Amino acid sequence: MMDCKQARFNAALFLVFFAILFNGCAGRETTQQLVVTEYLLKDAGFQTWAVNDETPKRQALLNVIPRGTIITYKADGQVYHVYADEGSKTLYMGDEAAYQKYLSMARGKQLCERVDASNSSQFWSCFDEYQQAGGAQRRK
């Protein structure tokens, strides 16, 4: 009788472990991919924006960018690409030249998905806040 209960328990434990393992890996960057992505973004010329309690606009932007995705923001002929790392609370922002350099450096590596933003007002608000704090100048 104990052998049957033990076998069911082991089977259930195995299924739970497998479910956690499967769900934990599905659709997410591995730690190695995350490190490579961030290294390539920095080396390509993306600027880092620290996110903390004193930067609510950046926090809001960090919260809306899907993990493992580069979002493209366009307005008035300007194009910027933003990648978010929730773990280190950092935004990576680069212009089109930095993005093209990232693409050329990342050849043969798994790239982040890039999507166009449907609403860029939140980004430009955050970008203006960054400029006021002495960050990059908006290109005309």
Q: Distance between CA 65 and CA 46 in Å, rounded?
A: 16
16, pLDDT greater than 60:
no
Give the pLDDT confidence score for residue 80 in this predicted structure. 92
92, pLDDT greater than 90:
yes
Q: Considering the entire predicted model, what is its pTM?
A: 0.65
Burial class (CB in 10 A: 0-12, 13-18, 19+), 33: middle
73, two tokens: 């923001």
Q: Which residues contact 30 (CB under 8 A, 6 or more apart)?
A: none
139, pLDDT greater than 70:
no
Q: Distance between CA 22 and CA 18 in Å, rounded?
A: 6
